[in-house]
A = this chain, B = another copy of it.
Amino acid sequence: MDFAYSPKVQQLRERVTAFMETHVYPAEAVFEQQINQGDRWQPTAIMDELKAKAKAEGLWNLFLPDSELGAGLTNSEYAPLAEIMGSSLIGPEPFNCAAPDTGNMEVLVRYANEAQKEKWLKPLLDGTIRSAFAMTEPGVASSDATNMEARAVREGDEWVINGRKWWTSGACDPRCKIMIFMGLTNPDGPRHAQHSMILVPMDTPGVKVLRPLTVFGYDDAPHGHAEVLFENVRVPYDSVLLGEGRGFEIAQGRLGPGRIHHCMRSIGMAERALKLMCERSISRSAFGKPLARLGGNIDHIADSRMEINMARLLTLNAAYMMDTVGNKIAASEIAQIKVVAPNVALKVIDRAIQMHGGAGVSGDFPLAYWYAMQRTLRLADGPDEVHRAAIGKFEIGKYVSKDVMNASR
């Protein structure tokens, strides 16, 4: 049992931290300014600069466990780096480590054929294009993924796709060129073998990005969370990944590392919110004392510290288990961090908002924006409720067979 980071990881942490402090944090205001000038839905110059710098420093594709295409780090090696990147909403992209590209690239590495890799994986790894993942639908409860209704029907050598997706994050960005669509292809198959994943280029006729959704009041431009309509969209039959009806199989593989990444980023954001809270608590005074010395304020700081430390350890442990015993055995641990990390981040950010007074809910500090973004993570990739139920069933499963639990469902 060794809780220290390896020298290799420690060195990478220092490099990523230095990059964040030197380049990313100072760029936040610039990014916001560039977005608010002219068309919000165009990529910013500052992000291109940041990407070029990180690439030049070799801090690139750190997320990818494949050591030829990426950095070849394990989950528990990458996790501490994702945390640092996550301390800024514009932190991951400079390193080409932003969702949903990371998950999409992993899928392509594992399941795409050579032609697909050449066409889509390569530019994604180069950071010259971006991608989207179209799964959630407005018309059904997405907590049960088998509810998905968008259809892809085979007609000869083609799929004909019809349906409506939303929360297709990144689809508003003009750099987004490719989408992984997940939909119903084999309605008569067994419950978890009815859906497939299919590559759909954004410029395919019939693909209509209807609008960006807002999250609380934020549009998250130029990334954006799109509602996308598929009207008789036709793509070649071999655009299907892995095979017909194997969508859930891919989804399972995609989700594990993705969750570690998301959760560590949440922790990084919570950690920075705690920093802001501490700084505010000593820079403002009321009733003759710094805020930190009034009432229970220091307790809120202490609670935040404890919760963050616990969430981090839980996530690192899940990463370690994925590396050592695999996603399947680590299923409960992965579900646990999915519940814990965003909830901890929300609690810490909310306390930081409170310590900032009116400034906390405004745009003068990043806290309200962070809150909004973290709030979506209690819903994205399955709501808390689904994961909590899974954890509970896993626990009960130590004492009774799964069948018994589902019997009189």
Chain A positions near chain B (C-beta within 8 angstroms): 1-6, 9, 76, 136, 138, 140-144, 147, 166-167, 213-219, 274-275, 278-279, 281-282, 284-299, 301-303, 305-306, 309-311, 313-314, 316-317, 320-321, 324, 332-333, 336, 339-340, 353-354, 357-364, 368-369, 371-372, 375-376, 378-380, 383-385, 388-393, 395-396, 398-400, 404-405, 408-409
Contacts and interface: CB of A to CB of B under 8 A. Distances in A.
Contacts of A216: 216-218, 361, 368-369, 371-372
A357 B141 contact: yes
A277 to B, nearest CB: 9
Given A361-B379, A379-B360, A389-B298, A1 B372 contact: no
9 contacts: A166-B358, A215-B361, A216-B216, A278-B398, A279-B399, A282-B400, A299-B392, A301-B395, A309-B317
Main secondary structure of the interface of A (DSSP, over half): helix
A362 B214 CA distance: 5
A398 B274 CA distance: 11
Number of copies: 4
Nearest first, the 9 closest Cβ-Cβ pairs linking A and B are A217-B217, A296-B296, A298-B392, A144-B286, A217-B218, A310-B310, A313-B313, A302-B391, A302-B392
A76 B4 CA distance: 13
B368 A354 contact: no
A1 B13 CA distance: 14
A294 B285 CA distance: 18
Given A295-B388, A336-B306, A358-B136, A141 B286 contact: yes
Contact of A219 (B217, B303, B316, B399): B217
B368 A282 contact: no
Q: Which of A286, A398, A399 has the most CB of B within 10 A?
A: A286
